[in-house]
Amino acid sequence: MTKHKKSLASAAGTLALLTSALLVIPTLSAAEGTGNIDKGKAIAFGRTQGNCVTCHMMDDGESPGNLGPPLIAMKARYPDKAKLRAQIWDPTAANPESAMVPFGIYKVLTEQEIDYLVDYIWSL
Amino acid sequence: MINYRVLKKLVAAALVGGFVITAQAGPEEDRQAFVDSYKWKFPNVPMEEYVNGVYAIDKVGRENWEAIEEFPPYEIFIDEGLTMWEKPFANGKSYKDCFPEGPGIAHKYPHWDKQQGMVMTLPLALNQCLEANGEKPLKYKKGPINNILSYIAFESRGQVTNLEIPQDDPRAMEAYEEGKKFYFTRRGQLNFSCATCHLQNTGMQVRTEILSPSVGHTTHWPVYRSKWGTVGTLHRRFSGCNNNIRAKALEAQGEQYRNLEYFLTSLSNGLELNGPGARK
């Protein structure tokens, strides 16, 4: 009986540990993700950086242009996040007549900045 | 930074809103292709409206512009220009001696100068006049050149753009083709050509600015630009455009900008001159 109780208690403990681990790990990664998204947003809105609002209606961007399409439902439009990154890196690869700035190949943004930007744009 | 792959494609067979410019096309065919493209986009805008630039297609902007034109901000520059026109040089001669046909001569520029083998623009001709008479030439972007240009533009109102490329000197057509190539060449860190904004995306907005058509671009210079707080030249605007796309601005009245002006002016053939202009 005592032994049984003990094993129950230890099982409960293990379960509690597992549960907290399950809860804690996603919370941590989500927090990190939000940080990247915030950094990405700052880059997207920065006039000397992404300056995306000049051409795209997006998020809470004020007075957006319409030269490019509205940035909404991005996960549906780019199920493959790498393709979104490739589009930002060099839009003329997919469409030579694209009016979009080639942020990667022309070094308008750094690799790291583009990673943050992609995290943000993909969240829209 | 120049994207030759795109240039080749555009110049060889530029898709202009469904219309095609071929490499063999002459200036009149080029102009017609631009006009067709804009007509397709803006079927209700009459041709004579294109002299008003973006205000031909921007209703809200047009209201503000019409209010500005009630008390034209360029008027004092016209008056200053008249004084310059009348005032004798140190040698007793004046602009009138260089331009005996009078001040209403803007429609004669730019033209091919066979003797000098170059596109002759009005600002360049004014400075050649000054230098021939022992006077100091004027700067090409800012300052007094805009006064004399404002006066000449005002006196030229109602004249019609009629740029003819002479057939007796192949260099003239080469200059036109160079200007056309410049127009379609992507440049700068942001990788835009003139065509990206002013042909392919005319009428679209960057922030709150509507992109203007190139037909009509040359009819109303110099322009009082509220952003500048003064009147400025066409080549000053070219430099500003190049800076915006993070390209190195080229020399005002240098060969490249003069050839671009030659090509651009040809696109406005048949349109009335209505300078000086006012823009925000």
**Rounded Cα–Cα distance for residues B34 and B27 (Å):** 11
* Structure token pair of residue B176: 């036109």
Active site (annotated) includes residue B241? yes
Asked whether residue A32 carries a pLDDT value surpassing 80, the answer given is no
Distance from CA of A35 to the nearest CA of B (A): 27
* Structure token pair of residue B182: 């410049």
Every domain of chain B and the residues it spans = 29-280
DSSP for residue B13:
H
pLDDT in tens, A38-87: 999 999 999 999 999 999 999 999 999 999 999 999 999 999 999 999 99
Q: What is the pLDDT of residue A4?
A: 53
Q: What is the pLDDT of residue B15?
A: 45
CA distances (Å), B67 to each of B29, B64, B73, B149, in order? 37, 5, 11, 23
Contact call for residues B120 and B253 (beta carbons, < 8 A): no
Confidence of residue A34 (pLDDT cuts 50, 70, 90): confident
Amino acid sitting at position A79: P
- How long is chain A? 124
Q: Report how far Cα A41 is from the mean position of its chain's Cα atoms.
A: 9
Which residue in the set B9, B10, B204 is minimally distant from A66, CB to CB?
B204
DSSP output for B220-239: T-SEEETTTTEEE-HHHHHH
Residue A35 at interface with chain B, using a CB cutoff of 8 Å: no
The closest of B172, B169, B97, B90 to B128, measured between CA atoms, is B97
Q: What is the pLDDT of residue A53?
A: 98
* Among chain A residues, CA nearest to B206: A65
The closest of B34, B26, B262, B12 to B167, measured between CA atoms, is B26
B-chain residues near A97 (CB < 8 A): 6, 9-10, 15, 200
Sheet holding B230-232, edge to edge: B230-232, B223-225, B277-279
Which run of H or of E encompasses A43? Answer: helix A2-45
Residue A47 at interface with chain B, using a CB cutoff of 8 Å: no
* Structure token pair of residue B92: 């007793």
Which residue in the set A63, A107, A108 is minimally distant from B207, CB to CB?
A63
Report whether CATH 3.40.50.720 matches the domain B29-280: no
* Among chain B residues, CA nearest to A51: B207
User: Angle, to 10 degrees, between the axis of helix B75-86 and the axis of helix B145-155?
Assistant: 100
Which residues, including other chains, have CB under 8 Å from residue A69's CB and lie 6 or more apart? A56
Omega before B276 within 30 of 0, i.e. cis: yes
**Rounded Cα–Cα distance for residues A124 and B15 (Å):** 32
B-chain residues near A99 (CB < 8 A): 192, 196-197, 200-201
Q: What is the pLDDT of residue A120?
A: 98
Q: Report how far Cα A112 is from the mean position of its chain's Cα atoms.
A: 12
A86 Rama sector, left if φ>0, alpha if ψ -120 to 50, beta otherwise: alpha
Residue B197 at interface with chain A, using a CB cutoff of 8 Å: yes
Name beta bridge partners: B232: B223
CA dihedral A4, A8, A11, A15 (to 10 degrees): 170
**Rounded Cα–Cα distance for residues B224 and B80 (Å):** 14
Q: ipTM more than 0.90?
A: no
Q: What is the pLDDT of residue B83?
A: 98
Is A54 in Cβ contact with B207 (below 8 Å)? yes
- Token pair 């960057």 is at which residue? B206
Considering A23-27, A28-32, A65-69, the range whose residues carry the highest mean pLDDT is: A65-69
Which run of H or of E encompasses B179? Answer: helix B170-184
Give the percent of chain A with pLDDT over 70.
73
From first to last of its 280 residues, chain B has per-residue pLDDT tens of: 344 444 444 444 444 444 445 455 799 999 999 999 999 999 999 999 999 999 999 999 999 999 999 999 999 999 999 999 999 999 999 999 999 999 999 999 999 999 999 999 999 999 999 999 999 999 999 999 999 999 999 999 999 999 999 999 999 999 999 999 999 999 999 999 999 999 999 999 999 999 999 999 999 999 999 999 999 999 999 999 999 999 999 999 999 999 999 999 999 999 999 999 999 9
Residue B10 at interface with chain A, using a CB cutoff of 8 Å: yes
Q: What is the pLDDT of residue B126?
A: 98
**Rounded Cα–Cα distance for residues A110 and A120 (Å):** 15
Which residues, including other chains, have CB under 8 Å from residue B56's CB and lie 6 or more apart? B42, B45, B49, B50, B213, B216
Question: With 0-12 CB in 10 A as exposed, 13-18 as middle and 19+ as buried, what is A111?
Answer: exposed
Helix (H, G, I), strand (E, B) or coil at B247: coil
Torsion angles phi and psi, residue B111, rounded to 5? -140, 165
DSSP for residue B278:
E
**Rounded Cα–Cα distance for residues B217 and A25 (Å):** 60
* Structure token pair of residue B170: 């192949």
pTM of this prediction? 0.86
